Structure 1
Amino acid sequence: MKLFCFLTTFVLVNVLANDEVTYKKVVFFTNAAIELAYNTNELIEGDNFVTNGLEYVIEKMVNDEDSYKSFAKINLMMAVPDKTDLVNHIPSLVPFFPMHMLGMQYQLFVRQEIRDTLGMEYLSPIKKCINYQNYMQQEIKDTLEIDFPEADESQDFGSLDLTILANQRRRLVKTAIKKIFRRVIGTMFDQFFLELEVRDTLNLVGSNLATLIEERRATGTSLENTIRQRVLGTENPEVVEDQNGSIRDCPLLRFCRLMGLYMSTQLPTLYIKKIWIDSNENTCTLDDGTIERKFKKINGVWSQISSTT
């Protein structure tokens, strides 16, 4: 009996080790696909000119509420492949489409989605992560209609560091998202990113928010300006409304997902697990599992209005 238990444990440990090596391998190849998309420019999609392949893939995914109902799925596939616990935040079963949407194509799609989902139910978390990275490769291949070069299978994938692989990917994804925001936000890009960088810097340096608030009371300086001066070393004036309009026609969920992806690439230790929107209040909430940050468009700029634990 003891021998049986030992052999069973030995087999399980080896299977897990093999799965971890396989995951590093598939993340490595997915990185190569993302880099290929990043270096693909001047695309034509239908009658539209597409500037960059990776930007186009990202926008397609955040806009697709049918294939990507869960933000955790997008984040794991794209920005934080090293945070494998995210797979636990991806719903097991996808909801069915409304009856009025169930035409022939949607019936086939739902049927395939059910098959894929039920199949995933019996997989270990790491195997699910492997599948999601393979999905990311397929998404790039199908969206951009490009072929990947022959993969070098002779490498020692077990020696690869998953965090290093993820950081290499995040640099590309972060750059692409910033370019998307620059197109979407237009003239308010600098002010918007100053908001995000302020939040990230505060998290990194652990500034004493109570002290900053007290400074505000004593000097009459706004909290945002105090933070900018103390943390960023800048004296940019108060946020003012852009007379030409700041956020162009950008759906709230899409914008929220882009923010969640960007913040996950910027601070991967505080990666976003869940997001939700309030269309009535026009707010976006990002949840990293510890802190919920709510954003709202104020005077033409998206600003963080609350932070709760």
Structure 2
Amino acid sequence: MMRYAATRVVLLIAGLLVASVLIFLSLRVLPGDVAQLIAGINSTPENVAAIRESLGLDRPLVLQYTDWIGGPFRGDLGSSLLTGSSVADELLAKAQVTVPLGALALTIALVFSIPLGVASALRRGRAEGTALNVGAQALAAVPVVWAGMMLVVVFAVWLGWLPAQGFPREGWADPGAALRALILPALTIGIVEGAMLMRFVRSATLQAIGQDYVRTAAAKGLTRTGALVRHGLPNVALSVVTVLGLQIAGIVVGAVVIEQLFTLPGVGRMLVTDVGARDLPKVQGELLVLTGFVLVVGFVVDLAHRLIDPRQRDAL
């Protein structure tokens, strides 16, 4: 197991390095000049050139990249070109919104997708099973922005139970208000992602029901549900763990859109703002951290799958 984990760590680092190169190069092809933005529209070409030189933007791209990539591996994500603030500090501040939002959305997705997915499979061919399956397909096809708008209309406008937008200025100093501000955004992401996960759970459960060991257990006196719970669900869990990594990545991407829709001061909204402002060091740091998070989730899922599956564990 240690050898496998070490190999995965090496691949993780290699993947992060490749991602850093792609992030660095992709930002250099964006239109606009950050030096011109800092200098202002009425500045002279000499002033713009001086700012570009002071920021190191006139240096070869290879040198710019090596100067930048050394910082994250030392724990330094650099500073904003426009404000001079620490990128790491701002990320930590914004993560206090994004991380709880993602955790709450994932919890919502898991709470309703797993039991309903299993129930839909057990009731296949019945009216309730068909209704659950059709409902999951319909929700999975709903754009996340439209789902968020509908939830705002129902719970904020019509019922007035929850705030439509914003986050308390005092943050988590008022936990009740902060949690209420995250409920609608989390529901938006959790329902859409959970519907997709529910379809996968249903498919994995149907596959498990058809396995010989489940039929044998049922033939020995267990009910179909009992045989599935005792012998089939562990194998369903393997499939769910595998796809869960993709769901977490989907939640991260969804948070970027949802934070804009609900005006939440999180990492996603900060990223969109910084891209528009051409704050390259800040955007680079934010994208690198988000990419690293997705890669680490994949790493953890691989290890979990290896530990849960006795066939792979015995092969180590």
Range into which the TM-score falls when normalised by the shorter chain: under 0.3
TM-score, normalisation: structure 1: 0.28
Which protein has the larger Cα radius of gyration, Structure 1 or Structure 2?
2
TM-score, normalisation: structure 2: 0.27
**Bigger relative CO (Cα 8 Å, ≥ 6 apart):** 2
More strand by share: 1
More helix by share: 2
